[in-house]
Structure 1
Amino acid sequence: MVRRRLQVFGCVLFAWAATAAAGGVPQAPRAPCPCSLEADALDCSGLGLDSVPQGCFVLHPGISALILDDNAISRLEEADFAAVGASLTELVLRNNPVDFVHKHAFSSLTALQTLHLGGTNLAFLPPGLFAQLHALTYVNLNNAGLRGLPQRLFSERLVESVALEMDVPEMAVVPCATLSALPRGSSINVTSQYLWAPTPRKL
């Protein structure tokens, strides 16, 4: 009796192994992408997302615009946008409680032209955060809670002029070097009353 039970158990194991080898192991269904696609724009606004929906990029590769405003995203990690780095030209993150941005979060977005980070809780931006955004032409940092800007922020290979919009609290510091690094013809709308330079000649 014991031997027969062992034999039956062995058959069950063999059948399971054969199924696994054939790729028939049941897998949990992948959650569908909650965002809507219109043309090449992926609209994920107002969905209560707490992270960047990277799974959507598998279903919708090659998008040119990603709209993530009015969500609950608090962190931007290093690989969040890697899958759409070659195609994305517009990224909208307005009105999210973002208080952490990995220093390489945007490094893959070499085609990005428009970036909206208004209405976040950033306080500080990592030095060189936009260093790989060579195609950047517009940045909105209004109501982002910024206390200032790092001296090195933008790409040294910018070709087009850049429109920068931001407001910072009173007593916040915006280094002159950050703004002077922008291409000739750039427009800067900064409400800070305090511009800082290491020497008077660099003002």
Structure 2
Amino acid sequence: MQTEFSEKQLAIIPISAFTASGNIEKLKTSLNEGLDAGLSINEVKEVLVQLYAYAGFPRSLNGIGTLMSVVEERKQRGIEDDQGKDASPFPTDKTSLEFGTDNQTKLVGQAVAGPMFDFCPEIDHFLKAHLFGDIFERDVLSWQDRELATIAALANIDGVNSQLGSHIGISLNNGINPTLLEQFIGSLRKHCGDDIADNANQVLQNVLS
């Protein structure tokens, strides 16, 4: 059982949290620390692209613009960061909806349905085809890393405890065990303060109970 996040995984937490909250100065610091920890440029880009699904395009685009400036500043200081791998080609024998539905079921541990999706089937389609298909199918990041980025972002957005709890549950289903989640809470406390960490910890305890 994994008992500690890697340095690269720990670096994802503040990058995601400050992208979601829009704190550009702290994001710049976190991006530099993440690149120093060994995250490739493409891995960081992948985090920032994924977060548009949770924090919106404005925050995601601001994050990408900040990354561009950080990479350029580092180049001027003589630092050449690893570009990293590109995503593998997508399956050609399935639609985004088909492999996205499969991905969502594996991530959650069961098929996802419910009154909300009956009421609004459009959002069910977009979640399956785009988020869990077009985004989660990209193999630049592992599913564990994607869920770590997601819970870090949701923890730093007001009013989304329900979604935070759901994704903590998905995290538990994908190798982020309670010991790692305690480390996650500690990282939030270090970077985002007691209020954010205490709220996330309460959501975590509710999930675990």
Q: TM-score of the superposition, structure 2-length normalised?
A: 0.23
Larger Rg: 1
Higher RCO, 1 or 2 (CA under 8 Å, sep at least 6)? 2
Whichever structure has more helix as a proportion of its residues is 2
